[in-house]
Copies of this chain bind each other. A is one copy, B any other.
Amino acid sequence: MKPVKIGVIGLGNVGTGTLTILTENARNLAEKLGFPLEVAAICSPRVHTRELPALPGVLKTTEWREVVNHPDVEVVAELVGGTGTAREIVDAAIAAGKSVVTANKEMLALSGVELWQAAASAGVSLAMEASVAGGIPIHTVLRDGISGDRIDTLFGILNGTCNYILTEIEQKGAAFGDVLAEAQRLGYAEADPTADVDGFDARSKLAILAGLAFGQRVLPAQIFTEGIRRVTPLDFAYAHTLKHTIRLICAARRTPTGLLLSVRPSLIPQSTIMAGVTGAYNAVWVKGHYGQDTFYYGRGAGAQPTGVAVVSDLVRVARELRYGHPGRLSPFAHGTLTGAEPLPIEQLKSSYYLRFRVKDAPGIIAKLAGILAGKGISIDAVLQLPNEPKDDLPFVITVEPAEEGAIRAAVAEMAALDFVIEPPLALPMEKGL
Residues of A within 8 A of B (CB): 17, 20-21, 25, 28-29, 31-32, 112-113, 116-117, 119-120, 123-127, 129, 135-137, 139-150, 153, 155, 211-212, 214-219, 222-224, 230-231, 234-235, 237-239, 241-242, 244, 246, 249, 251, 253-262, 264-269, 272-274, 276-277, 285, 287-299, 302, 304-305, 307-317, 320, 324-334, 337, 339-343, 345, 347-348, 353, 355, 381, 383, 385, 394, 396, 398, 425, 427-433
Expressed in whole angstroms, the Cα–Cα distance for A198 and B100 within the complex equals 48
| Residue of B with least CB distance to A148 | B311
With the chains together, A148 CA to B332 CA distance in Å?
15
Query: In the complex where A135-B292, A348-B262 touch, is A148 in contact with B330 (Cβ < 8 A)?
Result: no
Contact A153 B325 (CB under 8 A): no
Give the residues in chain B near A145, CB-CB below 8 Å.
Answer: 129, 137, 139-141, 145, 312
- Of B17, B123, B298, B433, which contacts A272 at CB under 8 A? B433
Shortest A417–chain B CB gap in Å is: 18
How far does the Cβ of A320 sit from chain B's closest Cβ, in whole Å?
5
Chain B residues with Cβ under 8 A from A261's Cβ? 342-343, 345
A372 to B69 alpha-carbon distance, docked (Å): 64
Residue of B nearest to A274 (CB): B433
B298 touches A292 (CB 8 A): yes
Q: Is the CB of B290 within 8 A of A308?
A: yes
Contact at A242–B119, with CB atoms within 8 Å?
no
Query: What B residues does A142 contact at CB under 8 A?
Result: 331
Specify the chain B residue showing the minimal Cβ separation from A265: B427
Question: Given the complex, which residues of B lie within 8 Å of A396, measured CB to CB?
Answer: 238, 242
The smallest beta-carbon distance between A341 and chain B, in angstroms, is 4
Q: How many subunits of this chain does the assembly comprise?
A: 2
User: Bound complex: CA of A241 vs CA of B381, how far in Å?
Assistant: 11
Complex: A396 Cα to B150 Cα, angstroms: 37
B260, A345: Cβ atoms closer than 8 Å? yes
Closest Cβ–Cβ distance, residue A359 to chain B (whole Å): 16
Chain B nearest Cβ from A402, distance in angstroms: 14
CB-CB under 8 A for A353 and B290, given A264-B427, A309-B148, A347-B255 = no
Whether B267 contacts A291 by the Cβ 8 Å rule is no
Bound complex: CA of A266 vs CA of B257, how far in Å? 48
Verify B427–A312 contact, CB threshold 8 A: no
- A308–B267 CB distance below 8 A: no
27 A-B pairs within 8 Å (CB atoms) are namely: A135-B294, A145-B312, A148-B311, A214-B337, A215-B332, A216-B337, A218-B342, A222-B342, A234-B355, A238-B383, A238-B385, A244-B429, A246-B427, A255-B343, A259-B340, A259-B342, A260-B342, A266-B427, A269-B430, A290-B305, A291-B308, A292-B298, A292-B304, A295-B296, A295-B297, A296-B296, A320-B328
Question: In the complex, are the beta carbons of B260 and A343 less than 8 A apart?
Answer: yes
Once the chains are docked, how many angstroms separate the CA of A311 from the CA of B21? 33
A379 to chain B, nearest CB (A): 14
Q: Note all chain B residues with C-beta closer than 8 A to A217.
A: 332-333
- Complex Cα gap A136–B292 (Å): 10
Closest chain-B Cβ to A202's Cβ sits at a distance in Å of 15
- Name, among A144, A312, A348, the residue most crowded by chain B CB atoms within 10 Å (CB to CB): A144
Nearest residue in B to A272 (C-beta to C-beta)?
B433
- Shortest Cβ gap from A167 to chain B (Å): 14
**Interfacial chain B residues near A333, Cβ < 8 Å:** 113, 211, 215-217
Contact A235 B425 (CB under 8 A): yes
- CB distance B328 to A125 under 8 Å? yes
Chain B residue at minimal CB-CB distance from A384: B238
CB of B331 within 8 A of CB of A139, answer yes
CA distance A274 to B295 in the complex (A): 12
Q: How far is the CA of A285 from the CA of B328 in the complex (A)?
A: 26
